[in-house]
Amino acid sequence: GENVEQHPSTLSVQEGDSAVIKCTYSDSASNYFPWYKQELGKRPQLIIDIRSNVGEKKDQRIAVTLNKTAKHFSLHITETQPEDSAVYFCAASLYSSASKIIFGSGTRLSIRP
Amino acid sequence: DGGITQSPKYLFRKEGQNVTLSCEQNLNHDAMYWYRQDPGQGLRLIYYSQIVNDFQKGDIAEGYSVSREKKESFPLTVTSAQKNPTAFYLCASSRETGVTGELFFGEGSRLTVL
C-alpha cells in the first residue's frame, strides 16, 4: 500500500522568510496530493492540492510542486507570517476512485517574530 | 448550519471496556473516514466508507469496528482488543462522488483509557 514520508518534523523560520516542506510517496499510481493545515486545537483544513497532470500549483503565498518521476512533492510558503504557525500534513491518494487518503507524519512550523 | 459533528469531545474509559465514538454529518457527503492522530505520527487511517452499508479497512483497523447504516452517520467502536486506544480520533467526510476530494474534518474526540 501507499506510504508517505514527510520532512522535516519541525521547522522554525524567521517571519518573512520562506518555508519548504517535502514529502515522498511510494505508490506510483497515486495521482492526488493534498496539503492540510492544522492550527493548535483546531481541525485540519485543506490549503492546497495538486493532481499529477500538473507540475506546480500556486495560491497566493503557497505553492506545491510535484515530481512524479522522483515521487516527491513539496509545499512552499513565501513571506511567512505568524498565522502560518501550525502543523502541516501532506497526503497521497488515487484521485479517480474515492479511495483512501494516506497522510504524512506532519511538520510543525513555527514562525519567529 | 452544515458540518460534521463528533461526540463526545473527551472520553475516559477503563481498560477492557468497549467505547463508541459518534460521527454525524449533514453535508450529504457519500464518503466518510476515521483517522487516529498520535503525536509525531500524523493521521493514520482506521476505516473508510464510500457508500452506505459498505466500508473498508484502513492501515490500522485492528481493534476497531465501524458501521454505515445511514449516509449521515459513521460510528467508530474502539474494542478491548485495541492494544493502545488512548489517542485523538478524527472523523472526516468528502463531498466528491467517485473521486477523492477535500476532506472535511470534525473537531475530534480525545479518548483516554485509564
Higher pLDDT: A18 or B42? It is: A18
Q: Judge whether B26 is closer than 8 Å to chain A, CB to CB.
A: no
Mean pLDDT computed over B41-55: 91
Count CA within 13 A, CB hemisphere, residue B65.
Answer: 8
Q: Judge whether B89 is closer than 8 Å to chain A, CB to CB.
A: no
Between CA A71 and CA A27 the distance in angstroms is 8
Give chain A's end-to-end CA distance (angstroms, integer).
41
Whether the pLDDT of residue B1 is over 60: the answer is: no
Q: Do A43 and B106 touch (CB under 8 A)?
A: yes
Mean pLDDT computed over B49-60: 91
Mean pLDDT computed over B39-46: 87
Which residues of chain B neighbour A35 with C-beta distances below 8 Å?
Answer: none
Mean pLDDT computed over B66-74: 97
Q: Do A43 and B102 touch (CB under 8 A)?
A: no
Question: Is residue A40 a contact partner of residue A106, using CB atoms and an 8 Å limit?
Answer: no
Mean pLDDT computed over B40-49: 90
Q: Do B96 and A49 touch (CB under 8 A)?
A: no
Write down the mean pLDDT value for chain A: 93
Q: Judge whether B39 is closer than 8 Å to chain A, CB to CB.
A: no
Query: What distance in Å separates residue A98's CA from the closest CA in chain B?
Result: 4
Q: Do A43 and B45 touch (CB under 8 A)?
A: no
| % chain B with pLDDT above 70 | 94
Whether the pLDDT of residue B38 is over 60: the answer is: yes
| % chain B with pLDDT above 90 | 72
Between CA B106 and CA A6 the distance in angstroms is 24
Question: Cell numbers at residue A4, please?
Answer: 508517505
Whether the pLDDT of residue A113 is over 60: the answer is: yes
Q: Judge whether A3 is closer than 8 Å to chain B, CB to CB.
A: no
Mean pLDDT computed over B4-18: 93
Mean pLDDT computed over B24-52: 91
Hey, is A104 helix, strand or coil? coil
Question: Is residue A106 a contact partner of residue A6, using CB atoms and an 8 Å limit?
Answer: yes
Between CA B52 and CA B34 the distance in angstroms is 15
Residue A97 binned pLDDT confidence (cut-offs 50, 70, 90): low
Whether the pLDDT of residue B110 is over 80: the answer is: yes
Question: pLDDT tens for residues A53-91?
Answer: 889 999 999 999 999 999 999 999 999 999 999 999 999
